[in-house]
């Protein structure tokens, strides 16, 4: 009877200890994976921000020759916020940084839409006021993206 009780207690204790050690090792591995994933996301987000800043800071934009001898200088390009979206979806950053990652992603997509709208207005030879307004929107969005790239880069670096 005592041998049976000792066997049951020993089996139960070793099983419980194995489960506890397994949970501990699992959590340790998960934290290690999260740390390396966070580092990877930091690097690609900062690299993408730097790339966007270099593209949008290019002093040689496209000169749009408009009627009445007016010229407007804009940077016509299409950007893709893949790293910013991936970092935002990861859940590894604090709420404010995540919100800003999604915010800049939406702003980049809006920039692409505004550039497409501007090009469409020019292709259709629309009214000069519409074209000037669209070019101003593109320029203002570009400036906002440049500012947000700096902000997000600093937030991601600090995470």
Q: Nearest to residue 127, comparing CAs of 68, 75, 76?
A: 68
The verdict on residue 124 lying in a domain is: yes
| 86, two tokens | 């991936």
The verdict on residue 3 lying in a domain is: no
- pLDDT at res. 117: 93
Evaluate if residue 1 carries a pLDDT over 70. Answer: no
Confidence of residue 52 (pLDDT cuts 50, 70, 90): very high
Q: Model pTM?
A: 0.77
Q: Bridge partners of 66?
A: 70
The verdict on residue 94 lying in a domain is: yes
For residue 147, give its domain range. 37-158
Confidence of residue 158 (pLDDT cuts 50, 70, 90): confident
The verdict on residue 55 lying in a domain is: yes
The verdict on residue 32 lying in a domain is: no
| 2, two tokens | 């005592």
- In this predicted model, what pLDDT tens digit does every residue of 4-31 receive, in sequence order? 777 788 888 888 888 888 888 788 877 7
The verdict on residue 133 lying in a domain is: yes
Number of compact structural domains in the chain: 1
The verdict on residue 99 lying in a domain is: yes
Confidence of residue 103 (pLDDT cuts 50, 70, 90): very high
Ramachandran assignment for 131, one of left (phi > 0), alpha (psi -120 to 50 degrees), beta (any other): alpha
- pLDDT at res. 148: 93
């Amino acid at each position: 009877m005592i041998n049976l009780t000792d066997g049951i207690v020993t089996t139960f204790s070793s099983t419980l200890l194995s489960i506890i050690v397994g949970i501990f090792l699992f959590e340790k591995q998960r934290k290690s994976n999260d740390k390396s994933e966070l580092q990877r996301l930091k690097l690609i987000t900062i690299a993408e921000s730097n790339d966007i800043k270099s593209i949008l800071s290019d002093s040689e934009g496209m000169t749009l020759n408009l009627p009445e001898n007016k010229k407007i200088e804009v940077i016509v390009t299409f950007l893709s916020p893949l790293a910013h979206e991936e970092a935002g979806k990861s859940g590894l950053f604090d709420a404010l940084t995540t919100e800003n990652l999604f915010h800049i992603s939406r702003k980049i997509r809006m920039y692409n839409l505004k550039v497409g709208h501007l090009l469409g207005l020019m292709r259709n030879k629309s009214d000069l006021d519409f074209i000037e307004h669209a070019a101003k929107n593109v320029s203002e969005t570009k400036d906002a993206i440049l500012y947000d790239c700096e902000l997000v880069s600093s937030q991601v670096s600090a995470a």
